[in-house]
Structure 1
Amino acid sequence: MFCAATSCQTGASDETTQTDAVSSEPEVTAAVATEKRPAPEFFAIPEEMLKKRVWICEDNQSDIFHVKHDCPILVQCKGKGTFRNLLLPRAIEDYGRYNCQECSEDLDFIFDQDAVRELGK
């Protein structure tokens, strides 16, 4: 998919008479793809949070999960993508999501490699 977008951009730059609407579409697609961060390499979810449910927006650009269904950032997804309610581990493992700084800032410790953690009892 990226190769196709790149080849379209190259063709658009070769033909200077092409309209902006046609040539800007591949650039928008490439920009959206680069905004999304790579999936978290490290995360540690406490046992008591394994059943916690979170919300995500599937819009090919969002890379965060939300603990509140009415989070202002999640509400912006309306009309741009679909909402999904998932278990926290699945949101991170399968969808590569990080915590929202608006509604779940207190979950930063999940991604902190240097945090001191209590071993399971």
Structure 2
Amino acid sequence: MNFTLPTTIAKAFRNVLLLAITCTVFACQETVETDDTPQTETETPVSEEESTETRPAPTFFIVPPDLADKRVWICENTSSDIFHVQHDCPLLVQCKGNYRNVTIPRAIETYGRYNCQVCSKDLDHIFDEDMVR
């Protein structure tokens, strides 16, 4: 007696079942959003005590090539105009808005941020027009 037909059906069924399990596993994975895409969120009203006068966006800056890929933290609220190198900077911890991790050029160009004088004072040279390069 030849058992090739039931064996072939069993192998085909096993392959279909493995494919279904694999598809299910990959479909259940969480998607990770990158920080480079703008997100729309509802704005919360900011009281007058929390809002401070922000500086205009920097008009002059030079980011050295070795710092172009360095990521920094910013607080997305209307009263912050600085970026932070350390995620546990005391000024960043006080943030009442959302945090975002972006590259230094994006923090300056897109968000108009300056460096924090607490955690990133060594990056003052980025905004120094008189520095010899």
* Worse-superposed segment, 57-66 or 34-43: 34-43
Give the fraction of aligned pairs with identical amino acids, expressed as a percent: 64
Where do 5+ consecutive residues of structure 2 fail to align? 1-44
Query: CA separation of 1:26/1:61 partners in 2, compared to 1, >3 Å: closer, same or farther?
Result: closer
Residue 28 of structure 1: aligned partner: 48
Larger radius of gyration between Structure 1 and Structure 2: 2
| The structure with more helix, counted as a fraction of residues | 1
Match of 2:130 among 108, 114, 121: 114
**Post-superposition, which runs of at least 4 consecutive aligned residues in structure 1 deviate over 3 A?**
none
Matches within 5 A, 1:1-121: 28=48, 32=51, 35-77=53-95, 80-117=96-133
Match of 2:39 in 1: none
TM-score (norm 2): 0.62
- 2:27 — aligned with what? none
Report the alpha carbon displacement of residue 76 of structure 1 after superposing the two structures with TM: 0.4
CA distance in 2, matches of 1:48, 1:61: 30
